[in-house]
C-alpha cells in the first residue's frame, strides 16, 4: 500500500469517525430525519399500562408490541411528533382505540387502560328479590326477598352465594329506607304501614342492645322528617321533625330512649360529614357544628331565596361540599361563604374511588367534575368539567368500577366508559337487561344486576 493510499484511507476513516460519532450521539438522544417534513426532529414515546396483561399494542398499523406478563406495561419509543393511531387488543376482549399526540422529547401515556370481555357471562345468583342495597362489607349485598307470607331481609355474599336472614316481616308493610351505622354493626329500618312511617334500630351482633328485640324509635314522636345515625356516638340518632310550624334538628339516645340536644330550628335538610353536622335553614344559610363544645358556624348562603316545592340535599366529598336544589348542583365555597352553580341538571352523582372526581349524569349526558388536580394524563385542574358522552336514552345507573372507568345503563343497555377524553372516548357493551339496577363489587371485580326480581352476577370483568 502506497503512502498516498494510506493517507487517503486515513482521511476517509477520520471523516467517517467524525461523522459517525455525532450521528450516534444525536441518534441516542432521539434525533431522526423526518423524510415527510424533510427536517431533523427529536422523537417522543408512548407508555401504556393495561389490564389484562399480554395485550397487543399497534401504532399506525405496524407490527404490534405486547405488554409484559407481570405489570401489563409497555414503552414504545422513537416515534415522530404528531398524531398516531393506537389500537390495543387481545383475543376475547373488546378493543381500545385512540389517536394520541406525540410531542418532541416527551412521553405520552395511557396508564389506566382496561379491556373488557367481548361477551361477559352473567349467571342468576338469587330470585324473588324485591329491592337491593349495597352494604359496607366487601362482596355483600342486602336483599329484600319475597317469602311465602311476606318478605325478609338477607345478607347475600356474591362470591359464595350464601344468604343470612337478619329480619323477617310478619305483617303487611313496605320497606321504605335502610341505613348502616358508621360501625357497620347496626341498621336503621324505616317501614310504611297504612301510610304511616315507623323506624327502628336492628343490631346485627348477638348479645348487643337492639339485637334480640329491635329498638323502636317511636319515642321520637311524629311526624319525623329525616333520620340519620350519629357519626360520633354509636347509640345515637340525629333527626328532624315538625314542631309548632317549624322543623327542629335534634339528637337522641335510642337505647336509653332519651332526648338530647336541639341543634337548630327551621331546618330544610341536614347531613353528617365525618364528625361534622351540616344543615340548611329556611333562610338559605348553611350551618355546621363540628364539636359539642363549639357553637354552630354559618359557612355559606344560597345566592337566591329557597324555591318552594323543591327538594334540597347536602353532599360532602372529601373537602368538597355541594348543595342540590332539585336537579341543580351548587358548589359551596366556605371561604367566600357563597355558592355557585356547577350543573343545572345533575340527576345522579357518584364519587370516584380515589375521591378526586365526581361522575355526573345530566339526563342523557355523562360528565366528570374534577375535585382535585389530576396526576395522570390527560391533566386537569380542580374544578374542570369534562364531557364524556351523550346518549339517546336517559341514564338510569351510574357508578365507578375504578378511578378511571364508569359503568352505566341507558334503557336496557349496560356499558362501561373511560374518562380519558383524548380523541374517542372508548365504551364497551356488556349486556342487556330490562329495567336493571347495578352494583359494583370492588373486591371481586364483578358486576351484580337486579332485573325483574332476579339477581345476576357477572364473571370477573377486570382481570
Band (20; pLDDT cuts 50, 70, 90):
very low
Q: Rounded to whole angstroms, how far apart are CA atoms 230 and 289? A: 13
- The alpha carbon of residue 404 and the mean position of all alpha carbons in its chain are separated, in whole angstroms, by 9
Q: Rounded to whole angstroms, how far apart are CA atoms 424 and 401? A: 20
Q: Alpha helix (H) ranges present in 279-342?
A: none
pLDDT at residue 1, as a whole number = 61
Span 408-419, pLDDT tens digits: 999 999 999 999
Return the CA Rg of the chain. Answer: 30
Give the cell for residue 280.
340548611
Span 123-166, pLDDT tens digits: 999 999 999 999 998 889 999 998 888 899 999 999 899 999 99
Is the predicted pLDDT of residue 219 greater than 90, yes or no?
yes
In a domain, 84, yes or no: yes
Is the predicted pLDDT of residue 212 greater than 80, yes or no?
yes
DSSP-assigned beta bridge partners for residue 360: 349, 367
Query: 374 CB contacts (<8 Å, ≥6 apart)?
Result: 356, 357, 380, 381
What is residue 262's three-state secondary structure?
strand
pLDDT at residue 80, as a whole number = 85
Question: What is the average pLDDT across 50-73?
Answer: 94
Is the predicted pLDDT of residue 21 greater than 70, yes or no?
no
Q: Rounded to whole angstroms, how far apart are CA atoms 42 and 193? A: 74
DSSP-assigned beta bridge partners for residue 400: 406
pLDDT at residue 45, as a whole number = 92
Q: Rounded to whole angstroms, how far apart are CA atoms 293 and 261? A: 12
Residue 93 lies in domain: 32-114
Span 295-310, pLDDT tens digits: 999 999 999 999 989 9
Both ends of the chain: CA-CA distance in Å?
69
In a domain, 128, yes or no: no
Dihedral Cα 295, 296, 297, 298, nearest 10 deg: -150
89 within 8 A of 56, measured Cβ to Cβ: yes
Give the cell for residue 121.
357471562
Q: Rounded to whole angstroms, how far apart are CA atoms 417 and 138? A: 24
In a domain, 419, yes or no: no
Instruction: Please tell me whether the overall predicted TM-score, pTM, comes out greater than 0.85 for this model.
Output: yes
Q: Rounded to whole angstroms, how far apart are CA atoms 17 and 426? A: 50
pLDDT at residue 245, as a whole number = 84
Please give the DSSP secondary-structure letter assigned to residue 86. Answer: E
Is the predicted pLDDT of residue 173 greater than 60, yes or no?
yes
In a domain, 216, yes or no: no
Is the predicted pLDDT of residue 74 greater than 70, yes or no?
yes
Question: What is the average pLDDT across 269-287?
Answer: 94
128 within 8 A of 453, measured Cβ to Cβ: yes
Band (336; pLDDT cuts 50, 70, 90):
very high
Residue 90 host element (H or E): none
CA angle 158, 162, 163 (to 5 degrees): 105
In a domain, 67, yes or no: yes
Percent of the chain clearing pLDDT 70 (strictly above): 91
Band (41; pLDDT cuts 50, 70, 90):
low
288 within 8 A of 280, measured Cβ to Cβ: no
Buried b (16+ CB within 10 A) or exposed e, 180-214: bbeeeebbbbbbeeeeebbbbbbbbeeeebbbeeb
pLDDT at residue 32, as a whole number = 46
**Nearest in space to 179 (alpha carbons), one of 135, 231, 131:** 135
Residue corresponding to grid cell 374517542: 424
| CB neighbourhood size of 179 (10 A) | 16
186 within 8 A of 204, measured Cβ to Cβ: yes
In a domain, 61, yes or no: yes
**Nearest in space to 345 (alpha carbons), one of 324, 331, 316, 314:** 324
pLDDT at residue 5, as a whole number = 65
Overall domain count for the chain: 1
- SS3 for 138-174, per residue? CCEEEEEEECCCCEEEEEEECCCCCEEEEEECCCCCE
Q: Rounded to whole angstroms, how far apart are CA atoms 177 and 143? A: 12
pLDDT at residue 325, as a whole number = 96
CA angle 183, 184, 188 (to 5 degrees): 105
In a domain, 361, yes or no: no
Give the cell for residue 34.
423526518
In CATH, what number is assigned to the domain containing residue 96?
2.60.40.10
Q: Rounded to whole angstroms, how far apart are CA atoms 249 and 253? A: 14
In a domain, 49, yes or no: yes
Q: Rounded to whole angstroms, how far apart are CA atoms 272 and 292? A: 14
| CB neighbourhood size of 293 (10 A) | 6
Query: 14 CB contacts (<8 Å, ≥6 apart)?
Result: none
Mean pLDDT for the chain? 90
Q: What is the largest CA-CA distance in the chain?
A: 119
Cis ω before 52 (30° cut-off from 0): yes
Amino acid at each position: 500500500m502506497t503512502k498516498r493510499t494510506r493517507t487517503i484511507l486515513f482521511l476517509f476513516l477520520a471523516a467517517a469517525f467524525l461523522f459517525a460519532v455525532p450521528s450516534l450521539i444525536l441518534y441516542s438522544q432521539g434525533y431522526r430525519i423526518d423524510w415527510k417534513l424533510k427536517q431533523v426532529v427529536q422523537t417522543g414515546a408512548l407508555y401504556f399500562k393495561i389490564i389484562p396483561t399480554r395485550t397487543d399494542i399497534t401504532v399506525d398499523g405496524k407490527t404490534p408490541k405486547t405488554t409484559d406478563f407481570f405489570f401489563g406495561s409497555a414503552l414504545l419509543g422513537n416515534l415522530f411528533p404528531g398524531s398516531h393511531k393506537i389500537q390495543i387488543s387481545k383475543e376475547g376482549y373488546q378493543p381500545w382505540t385512540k389517536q394520541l399526540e406525540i410531542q418532541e422529547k416527551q412521553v405520552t401515556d395511557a396508564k389506566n387502560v382496561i379491556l373488557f370481555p367481548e361477551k361477559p357471562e352473567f349467571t342468576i345468583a338469587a330470585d324473588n328479590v324485591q329491592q337491593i342495597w349495597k352494604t359496607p362489607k366487601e362482596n355483600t349485598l342486602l336483599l329484600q326477598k319475597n317469602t311465602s307470607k311476606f318478605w325478609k331481609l338477607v345478607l347475600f355474599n356474591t362470591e359464595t352465594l350464601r344468604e343470612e336472614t337478619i329480619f323477617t316481616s310478619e305483617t303487611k308493610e313496605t320497606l321504605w329506607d335502610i341505613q348502616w351505622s358508621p360501625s357497620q354493626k347496626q341498621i336503621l329500618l324505616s317501614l310504611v304501614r297504612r301510610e304511616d312511617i315507623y323506624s327502628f334500630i336492628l343490631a346485627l351482633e348477638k348479645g348487643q342492645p337492639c339485637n334480640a328485640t329491635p329498638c323502636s324509635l317511636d319515642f321520637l314522636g311524629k311526624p319525623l322528617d329525616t333520620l340519620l345515625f350519629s357519626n360520633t356516638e354509636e347509640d345515637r340518632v340525629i333527626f328532624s321533625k315538625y314542631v309548632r310550624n317549624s322543623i327542629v334538628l335534634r339528637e337522641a339516645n335510642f337505647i336509653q330512649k332519651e332526648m338530647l340536644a336541639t341543634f337548630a330550628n327551621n331546618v330544610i335538610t341536614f347531613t353528617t360529614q365525618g364528625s361534622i353536622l351540616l344543615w340548611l335553614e329556611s333562610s338559605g344559610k348553611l350551618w355546621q357544628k363540628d364539636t359539642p363544645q363549639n357553637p354552630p358556624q354559618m359557612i355559606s348562603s344560597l345566592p337566591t331565596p329557597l324555591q318552594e316545592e323543591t327538594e334540597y340535599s347536602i353532599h360532602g366529598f372529601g373537602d368538597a361540599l355541594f348543595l342540590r336544589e332539585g336537579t341543580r348542583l351548587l358548589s359551596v365555597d366556605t371561604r367566600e361563604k357563597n355558592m355557585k352553580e356547577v350543573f343545572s341538571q345533575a340527576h345522579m352523582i357518584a364519587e370516584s374511588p380515589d375521591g378526586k372526581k365526581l361522575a355526573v349524569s345530566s339526563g342523557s349526558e355523562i360528565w366528570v367534575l374534577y375535585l382535585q388536580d389530576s396526576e395522570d394524563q390527560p391533566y386537569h385542574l380542580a374544578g374542570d368539567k369534562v364531557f364524556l358522552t351523550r346518549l339517546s336514552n336517559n341514564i338510569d345507573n351510574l357508578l365507578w368500577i375504578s378511578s378511571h372507568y364508569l359503568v352505566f345503563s341507558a334503557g336496557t343497555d349496560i356499558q362501561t366508559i373511560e374518562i380519558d377524553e383524548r380523541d374517542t372516548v372508548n365504551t364497551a357493551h356488556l349486556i342487556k337487561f330490562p329495567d336493571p339496577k347495578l352494583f359494583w363489587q370492588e373486591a371481586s371485580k364483578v358486576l351484580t344486576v337486579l332485573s325483574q326480581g332476579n339477581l345476576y352476577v357477572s364473571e370477573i370483568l377486570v382481570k
